[in-house]
Amino acid sequence: MSERELKVSISPLVPTQTLKGAILEAWENLGGASSPVGYPIAKEITYRNGGSQQRFQRGTIVYHPDHGAHYICGKFYYYWADQMGVNGPYMYPIDDPHDCDGVTVQNFMGGKISSDMPEIRDGIDLRGEFWRRGIEIRNQGARGTCSVHAMVAVLEYLYSGLLGRDYSHLSVEYANHFGNVAANVRSDGHYFSEVAAGYDEFGIVTDSIWPYNREWTYDFEAGQRFVDADMINTGRQLIADGLKMKGRFIKDIDGKAGLSQAQFDDFISVLDSGVPVAVGRDHSLCAVGYRRDSSQPGGGIVIFKNSWGTNPDFTGYQTETFENVINTVFDIYSYTLM
């Protein structure tokens, strides 16, 4: 008798994924689409030892013939995946995350991950997850589009997690142009508020529809001639039917640099939830993690994704102290799924 299968898709915009066997059973027992991992966004991967793994919106379900199928999500997933997943020291999970004397614990063939481990308790690092989702380091060139790049990087992360890797490259040109349309300006590069207004009205498209050109001298009228109704309809599909991201300012721009403690704590809490954040300064960046460290000024470091490309000396990521971030930020914008 063949094993039972179920075809599932969150949206007509993405391919249907097939769930089967032990992973399907585990997903259904967890609550299906309402489970901690959400909808499947990738095909099941099988391993030579009889194990398998399938990626979901908020984590993964992993099966081993000796230990069954178990889910890994949130900070446990990011850490486990950064340690090479089933091929790393922890290998396969042997149970689901569970409470143990007030600490969340999950056991693996190679050891235990717990919420009181410094690697879990004191920070989060989404760089590995950006790589796993196929989100590239961008190079804005000489154009003043850093704020647009920062905002689009957040949307790329959220949409690739919601719908899969087909949405890991979104159009900076589209976001830049429709920021102009929505705000009735004509600049190359914007404040976060203008990018957000363009997204709220016109959505976003993939980079393949309107690729970013770092050599282009932006021209609004040329952009208008390039745009057509089909492109706008495609962009608006990504803000329809429950797919729109909800945006908010953690700190609105007021002409003054600096964060209050409450604003900084809010910023850290969003990162801690596994969501990157757009940070506005003289050069805007996308914050992708943090690490508490009492030896650093302000008590830790923030990890940023830059839009200056890569070279032999620069990976596209950089770190700065809490103190420097607190003193230099003009505004911060966050997106979450509505």
List, for residues 19-64, the tens digit of each pLDDT value.
999 999 999 999 999 999 999 999 999 999 999 999 999 999 999 9
pLDDT of residue 2 exceeding 80: no
- Res 3: pLDDT: 79
Residue 199 CB contacts under 8 Å (≥ 6 apart), including other chains: 151, 155, 175, 178, 239, 245, 247
The whole-chain average pLDDT of the chain stands at: 96
Fill in the DSSP letter of residue 139.
Answer: B
First to last CA, the chain: 42
Give 1's pLDDT tier (boundaries 50, 70, 90).
Answer: very low
104 bridge partner residues: 99
pLDDT of residue 337 exceeding 90: no
Query: Average pLDDT in the 224-235 region?
Result: 98
More reliable by pLDDT, 190 or 95: 95
Residue 256's Cβ-count burial label (10 Å; 0-12, 13-18, 19+) is exposed
With CA atoms as reference, report the closest residue to 279 among 336, 331, 335.
331
Give me the DSSP letters along 152-221.
Answer: HHHHHHHHHHHH-GGGSSB-HHHHHHHHHHHHT---SS--HHHHHHHHHHH---BTTTS---TT----HH
More reliable by pLDDT, 211 or 2: 211
Residues 293-320: tens digit of each pLDDT: 999 999 999 999 999 999 999 999 999 9
Residue 291 CB contacts under 8 Å (≥ 6 apart), including other chains: 122, 123, 125, 300, 301, 303
Q: Are 159 and 238 in contact (CB under 8 A)?
A: yes
Query: Average pLDDT in the 140-160 region?
Result: 98
- Chain mean position to CA 115: 21
- Res 125: pLDDT: 98
pLDDT of residue 200 exceeding 50: yes
What six digits make up the tokens of 153? Answer: 């990087």
Q: Are 107 and 114 in contact (CB under 8 A)?
A: no
Counting runs of H as helices and runs of E as strands, what totals does the chain give? 11, 16
**Could you give all domains of the chain from N- to C-terminal order, each with its CATH number?**
5-92 (no CATH), 127-337 (3.90.70.10)
Question: Percentage of the chain with pLDDT > 70?
Answer: 99
Query: Average pLDDT in the 76-88 region?
Result: 97
